Amino acid sequence: MTGVAVPSIFHEDPNIIAKVEKIKELISNTNLAFLVGAGCSKCAGLPLMPKLTEDICKCKKFDKNTLAILTFLKEKYKHTPTANIENYISEVIDYLSIIERRADPEEKAQVINIDGHEFSKKQISLALIEIKNEIADCIENSKKTISVHQQFVNHIHKSMQKGKQRENFKIDYYILNYDTLVEDALSLEQIRYSDGFIGGATGWWDPEIFKKTEGNVRVLKIHGSIDWCLFNDEIYPRRIRKGLLEKEPDEKVMIWPASTKYRETQRDPYAQMIGIMRENLRPASHQHLVFIIGGYSFSDSHINYEIEKALRESDNLTIVILSSDDEPQGEIKKWRDDPRISGEIVILSNKGFFHGPDSLISKIDLPWWQFEIFTKLIRGER
């Protein structure tokens, strides 16, 4: 596998080597689940959220109303360093919700005042569609390499079992990204999986497929995907091959930003996928699940809530967190400092290893939290 080399400390320091071996052993003999965030796509050449936000805001193709709304939102969030395009989309969705709540059925005009200007529901809807479409274009037009993801899934599903498929193990991928790197890597490695769709490049949503027994690998795109679309008279996503239809779908890119308050109905794809994750994070008494979290900034309160609740309610769950912070911060620190659950959390941070009372502090960077380095280490590359 090409790319960045594994730092020498991983094959010179016996304490670090022992921690790597502990992780390899932990994930080799159990059911696995992965929470995959945007950081795991960086090694493939895709932009992280700050760069994606910058690129979207520079787009010259937008309608004048979309530009006006984006300009206002950039100014509104200028003192919030972590704000990104997902925050902007959430605001636009909120505008639509406000219009719908205030709407008088007998009035034709449905408008909202933004920065002293009135925008109609149609204009707000167009802005949302244009922003989502541009996100898809930025991701699709990026120069990508999928080699790291291929090596990762190959090892997880094949090499760890000495060349045999992990047929007796269940593996779930909960994807927070809009890209299709994980699905593409699984397909290239000829690993059968379920993603909620019946069909292929053109398919329709059927969550019952997650319950089928043909394969033990599931991919759940919790925030939607750049290859999902929605027709106005439908509630479930479709996947339509480009150029297939004379009339384009009403919503050509179906994504949900992390900060949006999701609909709470079992007819909603998000609720269905979260329900599956909620159940999976509480394995039966005779099973054990290792849940590996990578490339995730813990900025999604909905996801954080599900993880913490599962930690408190399950006796057979271990969570491995790959963190770019030098030591546990924020949500991760809160969990680590709680003696009731800290023993079920393993943290590979930029300058340390933490597991219950066990900790190892390094004076130099330990980039094992990077997806490409983590992949090399579990593959035994030094």
Place 161 in a pLDDT band, splitting at 50, 70 and 90. Answer: low
Amino acid 377 reads L
The predicted-structure confidence for 183-230, as pLDDT tens digits, reads as follows 999 999 999 999 999 998 899 999 888 887 566 899 999 999 999 999
Helix or strand run (H / E) with residue 111? strand 111-114
Domain 9-46+144-225+260-378, CATH homologous superfamily name and number: TPP-binding domain (3.40.50.1220)
- Which is it for strands 197-199 and 203-205: parallel, antiparallel or unpaired? antiparallel
**51-71 mean pLDDT:** 94
pLDDT at 190: 94
pLDDT surpassing 80 at residue 89: yes
Helix or strand run (H / E) with residue 32? strand 31-36
Q: Residue 299 is encoded by which pair of tokens?
A: 């900025």
Q: Residue 130 is encoded by which pair of tokens?
A: 């244009």
Q: Is 208 exposed, middle or buried (0-12, 13-18, 19+ CB in 10 A)?
A: exposed
pLDDT at 235: 85
| Spatial separation of the C-alpha atoms in residues 379 and 382, rounded to whole Å | 9
Query: Is 170 in contact with 287 (CB distance < 8 Å)?
Result: no
φ, ψ for residue 94, nearest 5 deg? -60, -40
**271-292 mean pLDDT:** 92
φ, ψ for residue 361, nearest 5 deg? -110, 135
pLDDT at 158: 86
**284-299 mean pLDDT:** 92
Q: Residue 261 is encoded by which pair of tokens?
A: 């308050």
pLDDT at 292: 98
pLDDT at 266: 56
pLDDT at 339: 94
Instruction: Give the residue ranges of DSSP H helices in 159-300.
Output: 181-188, 269-280
Three-state DSSP class for 139?
A: helix
| Spatial separation of the C-alpha atoms in residues 303 and 281, rounded to whole Å | 12
Query: Which ranges in the chain are annotated with CATH 3.40.50.1220?
Result: 9-46+144-225+260-378
Question: What percent of the chain has a predicted confidence (pLDDT) above 90?
Answer: 70
φ, ψ for residue 197, nearest 5 deg? -115, 145
pLDDT at 1: 45
The predicted-structure confidence for 113-158, as pLDDT tens digits, reads as follows 999 999 999 999 999 999 999 999 999 999 889 999 999 999 999 8
